[in-house]
A and B are shown apart, each in its own frame.
Chain A
């Protein structure tokens, strides 16, 4: 087992290198971050030249990637533009935990990214919990009453759910629960941010602001989950060992809990395991509609400024999370189903 885990982790290295090279090249060729640095006032040509040199953007792309990966403190760089490399570099590189400085705020990129993680997790973990509970409930209900009127209605709703553009739900919710509720004199929900600045980030405030974005995210994924759970449950219920259990006269409840559900859990674990790293990535569209200061919004803001240090930090973090959670998912299998063994 240890050997298996080690091998999987080793396989992750080329994967991370491919991802980082692809994204690095795309971002570096996407435009000139200096052109938009001064906002509406573009920097003067000689300032631009100096900045480019100081940020190391004048180097060939391969050199820049190397400096990003392993740092440049082992070599000399030309900072003053006299043609000779005479100043020792200061960057330590990603491999030693230095993700570089944001060119927008001049803070370490990793600090900016880490500071958004709690905000994004509040939103994504709470919606994921709603999704799992509601998805399991509706999926099981559908499966146990296959082809009933309830099942047909839920099937139609799930199809609508995963064909629904998330902004229709988000904006529709805003219209009903913020605009109309206010007109009708009901308590209405806030539509942007995490808390009322006058009240500060109290638990009650954050929870109150959380409801609309959380429900918008949940509705779409509940559709996907319940559909999936319905089909795995149906497959299990119709299998031979369930019929055997029934023939032995076990109670329907016992059959469901002890026999069916545990076996149907395997594909569900896969689904959840694959979704968990996405929680870190945040929900770009939802966060942007509700101005929720999470990872998705951070990504959008820094993408428009081509701040590659921060963007690379976000993307690398997500990729690592994907790899780790895939491994954890595979290890959970062995616990749920002892027949599965990895060598």
Chain B
């Protein structure tokens, strides 16, 4: 054994260190996510759809989307109206652009409500336990035992017409949009709250929480700074899939006539009129384009959610 060989290990160690710098969990997860092929495809489609509804609204004004000319009713797709026209002669392309904005906003904002409610209820129930836990969880179970679409329809009936229109980003949003955001948020938080609660139940017994408490941290600080960040992976995945579910549910409720009200378009309420057999038969473009857009959006969000789940789960290391 020569001295050169003896001195080799330190230098090769240093080399290893330079090649593989310490990677934070976030960075590892990001790396995994970027290598998840399906998630990347989903991401690209999703960005495409967002561009479609944003750039599209710069080309067509909302007035054009609501402009009707009954002499042009149920026109098949043409150069002038690439997606055809609806039964009062409105351009379906323009309506899917503005309807898409509404559907995406509804999906995103109601997800925020879902996440806030679900996380708060789960964290409080799990952390404090006792009577608070029993009451909150019994209520959660009660909400879960009603089929979600039925609950949504009852809530839609309850809030319907009770909220006034608002102005935002230079657009007038019908009160029915706010109603649907509210009820989607209020009816979807239960699953998440149960997951967060079970996470918190395990985590609150761990040593780092004990240490934080010994250092005099308040309950609020322990929940916000120690318990919730450790449940973040679950919450992020639930949030992503929540947007997809919300977009589908909005479409169902609007389709059944209790959601977003005309003239404001949403992907769901464009389809309401397409229920008529004559339209199904003679004007397939009427129902095909809006429902394909819903399918594409929900599909791409589900792929992104699936990728995030794989990326954030420390047990899946096959792709690293």
Contacts and interface: CB of A to CB of B under 8 A. Distances in A.
B256 A300 contact: yes
B146 A165 contact: no
Contact of A23 (B138, B154, B160): B154
A179 B143 CA distance: 41
Interface stretch (B48-56, B201-209, B273-281): B273-281
B153 A179 contact: no
Contacts of B147: 278, 281, 318
A19 B256 contact: no
Interface string A135-170: 000000000000000000000000110111111100
Secondary structure at chain B's binding surface: helix, strand, loop or mixed?
A: helix
B150 A160 contact: no
A165 B291 contact: yes
Interface of A: 14-15, 18-19, 22-23, 26-27, 29-31, 159-160, 162-168, 171, 174-175, 179, 191-192, 278, 281, 284-285, 288-289, 299-300, 303, 306, 311, 314-315, 318-319, 322-323
A152 B231 CA distance: 31
B303 interface: yes
B140 to A, nearest CB: 10
Nearest to B134: A14
B248 interface: yes
Contacts of A281: 147, 150
10 contacts: A26-B155, A160-B299, A164-B298, A165-B248, A167-B255, A168-B291, A303-B153, A315-B150, A315-B154, A318-B147
Given A163-B244, A179-B280, A278-B147, A14 B157 contact: no
B291 A167 contact: yes
Nearest to A319: B145
B150 A284 contact: yes
Contact of A284 (B146, B149, B295): B149
Given A22-B142, A159-B306, A191-B280, 10 more contacts: A14-B138, A26-B157, A27-B154, A30-B154, A165-B252, A167-B291, A192-B277, A288-B256, A318-B145, A319-B145
A18 B142 contact: yes
B259 to A, nearest CB: 12
Of all A-B residue pairs in the complex, the 6 with the closest CB atoms, nearest first, are: A168-B291, A163-B299, A163-B298, A18-B142, A322-B145, A30-B157
A65 to B, nearest CB: 16
Contacts of B281: 175, 179
A171 B302 CA distance: 23
A167 B142 contact: no
B82 interface: no
Interface in B268-307: 271, 274-275, 277, 280-281, 284, 287, 291-292, 294-295, 298-299, 302-303, 306
A29 B145 contact: no
